[in-house]
Amino acid sequence: MNQKILIGIIAVIVLVAGSVVAIRHHKSAASAAQDPGTSVGVKELLSEAAQDEAQGDKLKAKEAYDKIISNYPDYDKIQEVQDKLGQLNIDLIFSPAPIPSKTISYEVVPGDSLGKLAKQYNTTVQLIKRANNLKSDVIRAGETLRIWTAPFNILINKSQNVLFLKSGDEVLKIYHVSTGKDNITPVGTFKIATKIENPVWFRDGGAPVPSESPENELGTRWMGFTDPHYGLHGTIHPDQIGQQATAGCVRMLNKDVEELFDILPVGTQVVIQN
């Protein structure tokens, strides 16, 4: 065989072998990032969380999910864990379960009403009712109620079109939202000033649109900010969630804004950032 051809064949073999080694090394490095320790640790915690939930211990399940997010932020399915934790946190907020540092057990005294207690503890009538499985606004002296006392706050990130429901620094749930076209949603710190169920839409230059109309852009709930022109509301355009598509307000899916409406009292801080 011609010596030049032989040298060429050897060179090709060396290059191919080198490529195989490089590919194997890349795969090995990629699996090291997700490494056996990560997958084993996450698998164990997910198993713990599932077992705790099956046994009705949602607080312990929450601890397991919190550990995954804190200890394994590079886990390739971390978004799924965040979604599970978010729903679990909402379930806990609406449950009768006592949560240390966030809830109290209150014994009703003569003269109490749900409105009075909601104002006293900076919560909502809806949250007290849902957490205590109350079918009406009637409460009786001697009755024991579980009341949420930890303040909530909202952080909205316009570039990602996400809303964070928080208690202090703890993120409880992440929601997808729509913000203003051309980045017009204002940046700053606001408070929820008004709350309206099934709002009428007073559109510019047109007749008011009733709450039941399929053309009502506000959806099923309105929470107005201290800037009177903007607020958080539902939508008739669920396909636009995640986009900059509004006239400046923050839109949510109706089921999501209804959830927050029951949780957030007037005066809740809202921070909007780019």
The pLDDT assigned to 27 comes to 40
pLDDT digits over 114-123, tens only?
999 999 999 9
Can you name the CATH fold of 103-148? Membrane-bound Lytic Murein Transglycosylase D; Chain A (3.10.350)
What confidence tier does 205 reach under pLDDT thresholds 50, 70, 90? confident
Classify residue 209 as exposed, middle or buried by CB count within 10 Å of its CB (0-12, 13-18, 19+).
middle
Rounded CA separation 119/218 (Å): 26
Residue 214: both structure tokens together: 């399929």
CB atoms within 10 A of CB 102: 15
What confidence tier does 41 reach under pLDDT thresholds 50, 70, 90? confident
**Residues with Cβ within 8 Å of residue 51, at least 6 apart in sequence:** none
In 190-241, alpha helices (H): none
Domain boundaries, the chain: 37-93, 103-148, 153-273
Q: Cα torsion for 173, 177, 180, 185, to the nearest 10°?
A: -10
CB atoms within 10 A of CB 62: 21
CB 180 within 8 A of CB 194: no
The pLDDT assigned to 37 comes to 59
pLDDT digits over 77-126, tens only?
999 999 999 999 999 999 999 998 999 999 999 999 999 999 999 999 99
Query: What's the average model confidence in pLDDT over 45-74?
Result: 93
The matching CATH number, chosen from 2.40.440.10, 3.40.1280.10, 2.40.37.10, 1.20.120.1810, for 153-273 is 2.40.440.10
3-class SS of residue 63: helix
Q: Who has greater pLDDT, 31 or 273? A: 273
Query: What's the average model confidence in pLDDT over 243-249?
Result: 94
- Is-catalytic flag, 233? yes
Rounded CA separation 71/62 (Å): 14
Residue 142: both structure tokens together: 């001697």
Rounded CA separation 61/53 (Å): 6
CB 229 within 8 A of CB 248: yes
Q: Same CATH fold, 153-273 and 103-148? A: no
Inform me whether the pLDDT recorded for 34 exceeds 60: no
Which residue out of 26, 176, 233, 237 is catalytically annotated? 233
Residue from 269, 225, 216 nearest 250 by CA = 225
Rounded CA separation 156/11 (Å): 58
Residue from 210, 211, 260 nearest 231 by CA = 260
Which residue out of 26, 176, 229, 249 is catalytically annotated? 249
Q: What is the mean pLDDT of the chain?
A: 88
CB 184 within 8 A of CB 253: no
- Is-catalytic flag, 26? no
